[in-house]
Amino acid sequence: MTDCFRTCLKSSSAPLCYSSSTLMAHSPALTSLHFLLLSFTLTFFFFFFFFFPTFCVSVSVAEKPKTFIVRVDHDAKPSVFTTHKHWYESSLKSVSSDEGSRIIHTYQTVFHGFSAKLSPSEVQKLQDLTGVLAVIPEQVRQIQTTRSPHFLGLKTGDSSGLLKESDFGSDLVIGVIDTGIWPERESFSDRDLGPVPVKWKGTCVVSNNFHATSCNRKLIGARYFCNGYESTNGKMNETSEFRSPRDSDGHGTHTASIAAGRYVSPASMLGYASGVAAGMAPKARLAAYKVCWTAGCYDSDILAAFDAAVSDGVDVVSLSVGGVVVPYYLDAIAIGAFGAADHGVFVSASAGNGGPGGLTVTNVAPWVTTVGAGSIDRDFPADVKLGDGRVISGVSVYSGPGLAPGRLYPLIYAGSEGRDGYSASLCLEGALDPNVVREKIVLCDRGINSRAAKGEVVRNAGGVGMILANGVFDGEGLVADSHVLPATAVGASGGDELRKYISAANSNTKNSEKSRVTATATATIVFRGTRLGVRPAPVVAAFSARGPNPESPEILKPDVIAPGLNILAAWPEGIGPSGLPSDKRSTAFNILSGTSMACPHVSGLAALLKAAHPEWSPAAIRSALMTTAYVVDNRGEMMVDESTGNTSTVMDYGSGHVDPQKAMNPGLVYDLSTFDYVDFLCNSNYSEKNIQAVTRKNADCSGARRAGHVGNLNYPSMSAVFQQFSDDKEQGRRMSTHFIRTVTNVGEPKSIYQLTVKPPGGTTVTVQPEKLVFRRVGQKLSFLVRVKANAVKLSPGSSTMTSGSLVWSDGKHVVTSPIVVTMQQPL
C-alpha cells in the first residue's frame, strides 16, 4: 500500500499526498485566482525542466498508450451499428493499427462513452471523429475515515426527530464507492430488516472469497471494478488483495459502517472509545462498489462504479476519494456525479486532507456536496512527561504493553542522532542507528512515510517508544494513531519544546561529565485512555482541506463539515489497526481520521433526509444541511481552527457544522435543476461542447439562457470575487455585484420570513424584498442581493477575504446563508 493511498488512514503529512488543487492551463473559467496558481506552476516547471534536462521524454515513451475516457454523443450512433459498444469498437479500430480491442469499460447511465488505452496519435484522431465530444485523460485518485451520532443529536430513544421520522433510513440505498467491504462484521447484520427494496436492480458479484451469502438484506449489492487499474498496472497480485468486493484495506469497511452501520454493543478499538457503535442511517441498505486498489483508484473504474450504482438504484453515493482539481469536463468524478444528480441521486464527497493550507479543497463541482472534517467531544490523551517535570499534551490510541510505570527513559531527537540528519529526523526506513536508538524514546518529525510506519522504524531499531512531532504546516492538529509501540503525537509547539529540552540536556552533558546523570534528557509517555466531554468541540480538523474553490471561486467550498477526527467504525479481519503488514493485532473496530470519515456521515444523513422527505431533490437536501449548519462550539463561541487555535473562517468550514435535527425541518430550501447547472457552466465560459461532455445536454449559451454570472447559481451560499488593478486611481473605487436567489417553502403553509443581514467587513449589502410572504408549501419566492465594496490597498498577487451572512427567519426556522467577499490584486 503506497503512503499516499493510506493518507486518511495513517497519514504522515497530508500535503505530500494532496496537492494545492493544481489547475490546468486550459481551464475555460480562468480567473486571477487561477492565474496566481498557474503562474507559480509554470515557474516551477520551467525551473525543473531547465535545470534537469535528463527528464526529457523520448518519442517512444511519449507514444506509450495511456487510459482515456471518451465521451460520445449518444444520439450520434449510425444506424448501421446494432449497439453502442459495436460503434465504439469500430471507432477505435478506425484510428488504430492494433487489431485487438482495448476498450476497458463502456458507460451508459451517468455517462455515454467508453474508456480505452490510447496513444497520443490515436487520441488526436479520435477527437476528430463525428460524435466524439471529449477525450479525457485518466487521473489516479487516493482515498481520503461511536460517539458521533450522539454528538450530532441522533438519539435512538427520541419519540420524534430525524431517526424516528425517517425510520432510521429504512429502504434507502447508500452506494459506497471505496475499497470494498468486509461483510461479516456485525455492523452489516440484516437482523429485523424487511425485504430488499423492490426498486433494487443491483447484484452481488460472487468470487472464491466473496460468496452469495456475503450479501443480505443489509448489504444488498457488491461489485468490483479493476479493469482500469489492471490496464495500467497489469494483473493484480491476488495474494495481497482480493479480486472481489472484499476489502483488503479497511477504508471501505470503515466508511460504509459510518454511513449505515447497525447498532453494535459493546464496541471499542482495543479498549478505546468503548460504547455503542452506530452509523448515521442504521436501517439504510448498503451497496459496495470497490474501485480502489494498492496503486490507487482509477478514473475509468470510478466512472464505471457511478454508472453501475445509478443503474442499480442507489439513492445516495458516498465517495471518500479525491485528487487534483481540473476543469469539470476533464474531471471523471464531476462528470459521474453530474449524471448521478441528474438521476436524482445525492452525491457526497470528501473535501480532501490537504489542510490547513488554502486552495486545497477537492471535489468542488456545485452538484456535489463537499464535506470537510471536524472533531467531536471525545479524545484520547497520551501525554509526554519530561525529566524536569514538565508535561506536554499528546494523543494516541496505542494498545499494548506500556512503558514501565514511574520510569523515565532516555529521550533523543532522531534528527540529531541518525546516519543522515534529514532522513533520520523523519524516521525513514534504515535511517536510524540501533546503537544510538536502543532502549530510548525517539522524537520523530512528521513527513514522507506514514505516522505508524515511523513507529515501526523506531521499534525495529530497538527504541522503546516514539513521540511524533508536527511540523509548522501541521500546526497543533493531532490525530490519534494505533501505533505498534508506545507512542504519542504532539503539536508543532510541543515538538519545538522537546527539541529545545533535548538540545539543552545534550549541551550540559558535553560541558560536564558529572552532569550526565542529571542533565541527560529523559521522558515517559502516560496513556490516559478515552476522555469525553472535551471542550471546545467541534473544531475544524487541521488536515481538513480549505477553500477558496480553485475552479469556481464564486461557489463556496467545502459546503459543510462533519465529524472526521478520531472516528470509531468497523474494521476487517486480518488487518492490524495500524494498517502495517507487520501488525498482527485483531480488532472489529478501528479509529481513523480524515475527510474520508466526514463524508459518509453526510451520506448517511442525506439518506435519513431523503427517507423523511422523498420529494426532495439532491440540491434541496444539500440546502437543508447547509442553511441549518452551525458555527458555534459547545462553549458558545465561534469554532476554532485546530491547527492554530484561532477562530476558523468560512473557507475552513463552508456553511458550518451539520445539524441533522434542524436539517429535517429547514423551513426554506434553495433548489436546483439540471438546467441551472447548465446555465452555471455557460456563465463559467465553458464551450457548448465541453458542457455537453459534462451534462449530456445540448447547451444553448445564448444571452436568453444565461443567468447573468457564475454567482447567480441558486446556491445556499454567496461568494463575490472582485478584481482590482495596480493603478493608484483604483484606491477607493466602488465595485458591486448582485445575486438572484429563489427559495422554496418546505415549512409552514402560511409563513412570513423576515430578513437579517450581517454584511462582510467593508461592504454594503442590500436585499429586495426584505420580507417573504408564503401562502402554501412548495411556493417559490425570489429575492435580489446587492453587494457593494470599495477597493482596498493590496500588494500584487495578494487577496483578502471577509464574510458575513444573510438570514431568513419566521420565528421558528432560521435559514442562514454565508456571504463571502474576496478582493484580489493580480500580479
- Span 257-289, pLDDT tens digits: 999 999 999 999 999 999 989 999 999 999 999
Q: Is residue 762 part of a domain?
A: yes
3-state secondary structure of 634: coil
Say if residue 354 is in the same domain as residue 499: no
Residue 13, CB half-sphere, CA atoms under 13 Å: how many? 22
What is the longest distance spanned by two Cα atoms in the chain? 94
Domain interval for residue 73 = 4-141
Q: Supply the pLDDT for residue 759.
A: 98
19 has pLDDT over 70: no
Whether residues 371 and 388 share a domain: the answer is: no
In angstroms, the CA 292 to CA 143 distance is 8
Query: What pLDDT shows up at residue 591?
Result: 96
Q: Are residues 44 and 78 in the same domain?
A: yes
Within a domain: 683: no
Q: What is the pLDDT of residue 539?
A: 97
Query: Looking at 596, 628, 663, which one is the last position of a domain?
Result: 663
Residue 422 pLDDT exceeds 60: yes
Residue 56: pLDDT over 80? no
Instruction: For residue 713, give the nearest of 562, 544, 549 by alpha carbon.
Output: 549
pLDDT tens digits along 505-542: 877 655 544 433 344 899 999 999 999 999 999 999 99
Q: What are phi and psi of 143, to 5 degrees?
A: -70, 145
Q: Greater confidence, 568 or 158?
A: 568
pLDDT at 151: 61
pLDDT for 37: 41
Reading the block at residue 803, the C-alpha cell is 464574510
Pair 51, 121 in one domain: yes
Contacts with 300 (C-beta within 8 Å, 6 or more apart), sequence order: 67, 69, 104, 105, 115, 138, 227, 228, 231, 332
Tell me: the pLDDT tens digits for 251-265?
A: 999 999 999 999 999
Task: Give residue 58's pLDDT.
Answer: 35
Asked if residue 12 has pLDDT above 80, the reply is no
Confidence of residue 729 (pLDDT cuts 50, 70, 90): low
Are 148 and 221 contained in the same domain?
Answer: yes
Domain total in the chain:
4
Flag the least confident range among 348-352, 566-570, 707-711, 821-825.
707-711
- Per-position DSSP letters for 767-784, written without gaps between them: EE-SEEEE-STT-EEEEE
Under 8 Å between Cβ of 301 and 227:
yes
Residue 201's pLDDT band, with cuts at 50, 70 and 90, is very high
pLDDT of residue 291: 98
Average pLDDT of the chain?
87
Q: What is the mean pLDDT of residues 370-378?
A: 96
Q: Inform me whether the pLDDT recorded for 224 exceeds 80.
A: yes
- Considering the domain architecture, whether residues 438 and 306 belong to the same structural domain is answered as no
Q: Burial-class residue 542 by CB neighbours within 10 Å (0-12, 13-18, 19+).
A: buried
Q: Evaluate if residue 653 carries a pLDDT over 90.
A: yes
Question: Which pLDDT belongs to residue 11?
Answer: 36
CATH number of the domain within which 622 lies: 3.40.50.200
| C-alpha to C-alpha distances, 240 to 1, 236, 247, 248, nearest whole angstrom | 10, 9, 11, 8
Per the residue annotation, which of 105, 251, 254, 657 is the catalytic one? 251
| Mean pLDDT of all residues in 432-437 | 92
Percent of the chain residues past pLDDT 70, beyond the cut: 85
Q: How far is CA 680 from CA 114, 181, 705, 806, in A?
A: 26, 37, 10, 22
Strands (E), 16-128: 66-72, 103-107, 113-118
Model confidence pLDDT, tens digit, residues 305-315: 999 999 999 99
What pLDDT does residue 375 have? 96
* 119-128, 341-350, 677-686, range with greatest mean pLDDT: 341-350
pLDDT at 137 over 60: yes
Strands 522-527 and 409-413: antiparallel
Q: Which range, of 39-53, 496-510, 528-542, averages the lowest pLDDT?
A: 39-53
272: in domain: yes
pLDDT at 196 > cutoff 60: yes
Strands (E) across 73-187 are located at 103-107, 113-118, 132-137, 140-143, 173-178
Q: pLDDT tens digits, residue range 398-418?
A: 999 989 998 999 999 998 865
CATH number of the CATH domain containing 125: 3.30.70.80
The residue from 638, 663, 688 where one domain ends is 663
Q: Which of 511, 529, 547 corresponds to the end of one domain?
A: 529
Lowest mean pLDDT among 162-166, 384-388, 775-779: 162-166
Catalytic residue among 12, 119, 178, 379: 178
* Lowest-confidence segment of 213-227, 317-331, 732-746 by average pLDDT: 732-746
Are the C-beta atoms of residues 350 and 144 closer than 8 Å to each other? yes
Q: Which helix (H) or strand (E) holds 383?
A: strand 382-386
Are 825 and 35 within 8 A, CB to CB? Answer: no
The answer on pLDDT for 732 being more than 80 is no
**Within a domain: 95:** yes
Instruction: Evaluate whether 579 touches 9 at the Cβ level (below 8 Å).
Output: yes
Binning the chain into helix, strand and coil, the percentages to the nearest 5 are 30, 25, 45
pLDDT greater than 60 at residue 36 = no
Shared-domain flag, residues 440 and 565: no
More confident residue, 815 or 419: 815
Residue 704 lies in a domain: no
Per residue in 680-712, pLDDT (tens digit) is 999 999 999 999 999 988 888 876 455 579 999
**Cα separation, 416 vs 432, whole angstroms:** 10
Percent of the chain with pLDDT over 90: 75
Which pLDDT belongs to residue 154? 62
Instruction: Let me know whether 61 and 102 are in one domain.
Output: yes
Would you state the pLDDT for residue 545?
97
Residue 174: inside a domain: yes
- Pair 136, 196 in one domain: no
Residue position matching grid coordinates 477527437: 127
Residues 116 and 150 in one domain: no
Q: What is the pLDDT of residue 164?
A: 60
pLDDT in tens, 620-639: 999 999 999 999 999 999 99
pLDDT tens-digit readout, 440-486: 999 999 988 999 999 999 999 999 999 999 999 889 999 999 999 99
Radius of gyration of the chain measured on its C-alpha atoms? 27
- How far is it, in rounded angstroms, from Cα 231 to Cα 109? 23
565 lies in a domain?
Answer: yes
Parallel/antiparallel/unpaired status of strands 285-290 and 219-224: parallel
497 is a domain residue: yes
Same domain, 443 and 485: yes
Interior CA angle at 487 toward 440 and 520, to 5°?
30
The grid cell for 101 is 480491442
Annotated catalytic residue within 423, 596, 623, 799 = 596
Q: How far apart are CA 21 and CA 10, in angstroms?
A: 21
Quick one: 149 and 259 in the same domain?
yes
**CATH number of domain containing 515:** 3.50.30.30
**Cβ pair 648, 546 in contact under 8 A:** no
Average pLDDT, integer, range 158-170: 58
Residue 62 in this model has a pLDDT that exceeds 90: no
- Note if 596 is an active site residue: yes
pLDDT value of position 525? 98
Q: Is the pLDDT of residue 101 over 80?
A: no
